[in-house]
Each structure stands twice: as C-alpha cells, then as structure tokens.
Structure 1
Amino acid sequence: MVIGNGLIFAPVNIWHRRRKIMAPFFNLKNLHHIVPLFNEKSSIMVDLMRAEVGAGEFPIWKYMTTYSFDTVCETAGGHKMNSQENPADRIFLDSINEVAEMVTKRVLLPWLHSDFIYKKLPEYKKFLFHKHRAYDYIDEIIQEKRKQFATDGLKYKNNNSNGLINFLETIIQTSGGLEKGYSDIEIREEIIVMAVAGNDTSAVGASFTAVLLSRYPDVQAKVHQELQEVFGDSDRAVTPEDLPRLKYLEAVIKESLRLYPPVPIVAREVRNDVALPSGITLVDGTSILIHIWGTHRDPSYWGADAELFRPERFLEGPLRHPAMFIPFSYSIRGCIGATYAMLSAKTALANLLRRYRLLPPAGARAEDLTRPLPVKYNIMMKASDDFLIRVEERKK
C-alpha cells in the first residue's frame, strides 16, 4: 500500500480525527490565499503554451499536470517547484505517475493480486524504486519543515507574506505540534494523498474541460464573453474576488465533471444494514461500488439529453437530488479538496481562455466531435489521447 492510512483509505477511527485536523487548511478563507499562486503558475503554463500556436495538435495534459503539480507541491509542503520549465523538478511527479500506473495495472490484472507472485516479478523492483524515491522526496521536505519549526517555533507561520499556512504546517500544528502531533509516516501519508488527489483531480478536470470547449465553439464563445465582462482586454491577475463572478465557466467545468468524472467509481463499506427503496438490503460489512459515471448520465435525473454537453443545466436552479452530481464523492467522506480543485481549475482555464482559442485536432470530422471521448483508467480516468487540442492566439 502506497498511501497507507491516508485520508482516502483510512478506516473510520483514523479518518475522523485526520479529517478534523486537515479541515482548517481547506476552509474557503484560507484557500483564497492560494489563488495568487494558482494565477502565477497558470500564467507560466499559458506563456509556455505559446510554443504550440500554429504547431498543430498537442496533449494539453502535459501542461495541466505540471501546472497542477507545482501548485500542489507549494501548497502542500511550502516547497517551490518549477516542473513546468525544469524537467529536473519532475522526478517526484514522474515517480508518482509510475506508481499510479503500476497500481492500476495490478488492480486490473487478477493474477498480480497475490503478493507471493507480484514480489517475484521484475516490476515489483521498479515499483519499490519509484515508491521509495517519492517517499525520500517527501521525507526530506518534512525534516526541513521540522527544523524550521524547531528554530522559529509556531511563529514561523506568521513569516509568510500572504498569511497562508501551507498544508504541512497546518497538520503539524493542528495534530499537536512537533512533539505530540503526527509522526513522519502519518504526515507522509497525507502529503502523498494531497499530491495524488490534488494534482490529478485538478489537472484531469481542467483538461477534459479544455477538450470539450475545443469541440463546442459556441460554449467557448460564451465563456470568453464572460471573461471579457470580468477582465476586459487586460492581462491583470485573477483574484479570489473574480472567481465567483465566473458563473458560466463554473457551469462548464461542472458539466465536464458530470460527463467525465476523474474518479468514475468509488468503493464503500456498509457499516450497518441499509434498506434501499428498491427493497434490497445492503448488509453490514458488505463492500459496494458507487457508479459515479452511470449516476451522472442517468436520464431519470438528468433528462433525455443526459449524454449531451450542456452547461446551462447547472444554471437552471438547484439539482433534484444532491447525490445526482458527485464528482468528488458524497456525504461525510466526500473529497475534502473539492473547493481547492475547483478554484485551481477555474483560475487555470480563465488564464488559458483569455489568451487562446481552443480548437480540436486538424482533420477531425464534425460527427467525431459529438461522440463521447475515448477514455482510459489510470487511478483517475483520463482521455486516451492525453487530451489533444490545438490553440491559436486571440487578438485583442
């Protein structure tokens, strides 16, 4: 197990305490302090993407994932990364991606489930190499932070110019401080969860949205009109006050998450017998799968056009049931970072669409652009082609 008792897989007795400890970091007031970082890193992404103008189709994923990774690393551990411009800073990201691919492969191939068999295969050595490389990277950051706290005490948090307490600082303090708080292993588990879930969820959601906008120029035009109303032709930074005004962009992102949820299924354990309206009883101790992909496309909730990309449905009033839209899971074990992911995606897409018009791959037929996107499963669900689009610079 790579994540151990990280928040995603922790049993209830561990999960409850850990979620309470992490909550201060993910409150909206604190997340607003991170928006300038989202803006800074996504502006770098947009500048680098200029090399793709007129160069044909390219996978936008490589830009979105390094943007998201740099922001997650800095907000998770206060560690500045520049993986967008410096390949040497991608070692941790590469290891995390390698581990994710190997875990996915093992999950999907039953003959690899046995530890006895798997540990005798060459792939296991590769798995251990990347796992320990990721662990070593995180452990080094943890030790640096502990030294800073030991030297400066709790006053260290006040030295940040923007008032932000990063995730690592938060959980050290709220778990009890240097002596009584989380162990290094507990901190590492939660940093890995933040790195995997925080990076991929934001990057996948933004990438699917970009591809869909390239296929639906009328929707893209409405998003750009909204951006013009908020920003005009200026190049000013995106601020926390801007993001609530981008209501149509948020509807577009939500519609993308509805049709292409980054996590298409989640597993849950039934803790007490539950009688469903259908008459079926879920028995205590049973494991169940919640089919998010299917729920998001159920015509009984979403109507006859459930398979269509229509962002306006999120502007037509409240949903008929709160559990009909669950891209970040649902109820008390829903993703604590849902707001973080949305703020990151909105900022990145706002800067992207202010600069560029998104286009589908050259030669794509009209009928192909209305068909569902081919996808693959790799812990998160992603586009099979790594989200191919083209871009052209907008004229002011």
Structure 2
Amino acid sequence: MSFSSEMPDDFAVDIRHLVIESICSVSLNAHLGLLGEQRDNKDIQKVVSALQDVVELGFQLDMMPAFWKYLPMPNFKRLMRSLDIITDFCYFHIENALKRIEEDAKAGKLNEIGLEKSLLEKLARFDRQTAVIIAMDLLFAGADPTLVSLAGILLSLSKSPDKQARLLEEIREILPNKDSPLTMENMNNLPYLRACIKEGIRMYPIGPGTLRRMPHDVVLSGYRVIAGTDVGNAANYQMANMEQFVPKVREFIPERWLRDESNANAHLVGDTATPFMYLPFGFGPRACAGKRIVDMMLEIAIARLVRNFQIGFDYPIENAFKAKFFVQPNIPFKFKFVERSD
C-alpha cells in the first residue's frame, strides 16, 4: 500500500527539527531523537526555543539602537538565559561524546572499523571552549536559515513537476532502489540536484546579504572606505533577484546554472552577471564555516524525499516567507507527499 498524506500545519517544526538533528549529529556527535521519540521532550524544546530567541533577540539588541546598554531590558536578560541554555547543552553533549569516543577507543572499536578522529574530538582535545563555540555557531547560523532553504527548494519543486521529474531521473541513477545507500562516491556527480538547490536559494534567500568589517582601507566604486568600517553586501537578495541580472527572475529554472548546457541556457543569466552575484555563503576567509554541512544536509534531504515521494503543494506560495533578520516561514508548509511505487 502506498503512502499519501498532506502534512499538518506545524510541519515547519519537523523541518527545523531535521536541521537541528543533522547539525547536532555533525557538531556534537549526538542523536537527539527530535524526529521521533523525543519530539516533544521539554528539555530539548527549551534548546530549540532558545535558538529561535537568539536569532530574534540578537537582531533586536545588536542591530537596533542599543538601549540595553543604558536601561534594564527584559529582552537582554532573556537573551542571556537563552545563550546559557545553549552553552550548557553544547558542553553536556561534547563531554558525553568524548566519553563515548574514549570508551570505544579502549574497546578497540575505532581501530576495528578504521575510523579517523571526528572533527568534534580533534577540536575538543585541543580546546573544549573552541569546540563549544564552533557547535554553537553552527546551531545559531544553521537552524532557521537551512529550514528556509530546504522549504523554499521543496516549494519550488512542488510547483514545477517537470523539474521534479528531471531531478528524479538523475537521482534514480545513483539510487535505483528507495533504500539504496547514499555515499560520498555516488553523490559526486549530481549536477541537476545542485542546480535545483542553487536556484531555490536564489529565489528564497535567507537574508538581505552579508556584513563584513574592512580589515584595511579599500576603494569601492570610487569611494575610499577606511579600515574598521562595516560594509554590507546585498548581492544575495538584490542582484540575484533582479531581471537585469537573472532573466525570468521569478521562474524556477535550475538549468540556468548547468555548465554543460551553458550555450543553450546562456540567456537565462544576464550579460552583466558575475560570479559575485550569487554569494549566499559569503566569500573568502570569512565565508560561512557551515557551508559544506548545509550543502550535505540539503543534498541528502532532497535526494531522499524526491526519490521516495512525489512532492506537491496545493496552496499559493507567493507569500511563503516573511522578512526579518533571517527570513522566516509565513504560511503552513502543508506539503503533500505521495509515495512512489518503485
């Protein structure tokens, strides 16, 4: 019997849980059970709420006029409590992970299967505080933004059955069966999947751009910008969503990013476009540290969902997100998943 179901109004919660579960698996060697038995665990929900508070309150207190420096503000105390919750959570799981690693090493399990030391183990043995900071950074910067990216790509695919069919054809090449394993080797050549992800993030950027503090004096468009000045780059949102740079700008066309079809699809990216037009993860030394983790999460999640289900969405998506510091969901993500027969 095939499965067919429309997701409930709070499906965004499960998408967020998927993202947090994935980040914790990589950064904390921890399985939280957010998609199963621990979905409603009160202690874990405190952490999830704290992550949302940090994003929202961090914007209010850091980007807006800093009245909290001079006046007592409840939001500042709430932000500090949220940061304490997340810090304690990270320390707890790092200590547990290191104990497991040490026990496995003593039992010879790591040597038996030839595993190298994990990123967490390397960081924590060198400096536990650094390990906590990296884990917190991945959680802060990864949870809600990755939710938006994943939901935006799924919405785009659901409204473009022809693109979804082409993506399924590519995925079936590496996943002939629904339970076929995903490996680093068979995921090396998935150009259309990566084009779908790139186009989805272009159409639904997570924020207005990036902000960097100049380490030295520079000249930008004839203006001298002195060291220490904060410079904003709005390319993520502005340039990637302007008709002059991206023709048919509000159409989901992954083909515009395929190199092997560059001649046929040259008209899909404007003549004025440059590689710096699309920088959702920044560039250079201050590029997003979690880019590869986000790429991996999106690729695995979309590949598995498209291989197993036909994805639909029977509602308008024009106002799917609302703009705050990070873009946030604005409608119920009531996706319809119909299980594929083969």
TM-score, scaled relative to structure 1: 0.72
Q: Does 1:121 align with 2:73?
A: yes
C-alpha distance in 2 between matches for 1:214 and 1:269: 39
Q: Does 1:245 align with 2:189?
A: yes
RMSD: 3.1
SS class of match (1:267): strand
C-alpha distance in 1 between matches for 2:62 and 2:156: 29
Deviations 1:62-106 (A, max 9, x none): 222212211211211222221111122444223222322222343
2:53 aligned partner: 98
> Are the equivalent residues in 2 in contact too, given 1:210–1:358 (CA < 8 A)?
yes
SS class of match (2:185): coil
Residue 145 of structure 1 deviates from its aligned partner by 5.0
Q: Does 1:307 align with 2:250?
A: yes
Match of 1:280 among 215, 223, 230: 223
> Are the equivalent residues in 1 in contact too, given 2:123–2:130 (CA < 8 A)?
no
Residue 149 of structure 1 deviates from its aligned partner by 7.4
Matches for 1:166-185 after TM superposition, within 5 Å = 166-172=118-124, 177=125, 181-182=126-127, 184-185=128-129
Q: Which runs of 5+ in 1 are unaligned?
A: 1-49
SS class of match (2:198): helix
Deviations 1:3-53 (A, max 9, x none): xxxxxxxxxxxxxxxxxxxxxxxxxxxxxxxxxxxxxxxxxxxxxxx6xx4
> Are the equivalent residues in 2 in contact too, given 1:215–1:359 (CA < 8 A)?
yes
> Are the equivalent residues in 2 in contact too, given 1:208–1:260 (CA < 8 A)?
yes
Q: Which runs of 5+ in 2 are unaligned?
A: none
Identity %: 21
C-alpha distance in 1 between matches for 2:59 and 2:169: 41
Match of 1:331 among 262, 284, 296: 284
> Are the equivalent residues in 1 in contact too, given 2:195–2:254 (CA < 8 A)?
yes
C-alpha distance in 1 between matches for 2:328 and 2:113: 37
2:153 aligned partner: 209
C-alpha distance in 1 between matches for 2:329 and 2:183: 30
SS class of match (1:288): strand
Q: Does 1:377 align with 2:324?
A: yes
Residue 122 of structure 1 deviates from its aligned partner by 3.1
> Are the equivalent residues in 2 in contact too, given 1:65–1:203 (CA < 8 A)?
yes
Q: Does 1:138 align with 2:90?
A: yes
C-alpha distance in 2 between matches for 1:153 and 1:192: 26
Q: Does 1:394 align with 2:332?
A: no
SS class of match (2:327): strand
1:255 aligned partner: 199
Match of 1:165 among 102, 117, 132: 117
TM-score, scaled relative to structure 2: 0.82
SS class of match (2:324): strand
Paired amino acid for 2:18? Y
C-alpha distance in 1 between matches for 2:201 and 2:83: 30
SS class of match (2:5): coil
Paired amino acid for 1:329? G
Residue 342 of structure 1 deviates from its aligned partner by 1.1
Aligned residues: 325
Distance of aligned partners of 1:76 and 1:103 in 2 relative to their CA distance in 1, 3 Å threshold? same
C-alpha distance in 2 between matches for 1:162 and 1:352: 31
Distance of aligned partners of 1:224 and 1:124 in 2 relative to their CA distance in 1, 3 Å threshold? same
C-alpha distance in 2 between matches for 1:134 and 1:258: 31
C-alpha distance in 2 between matches for 1:373 and 1:325: 21
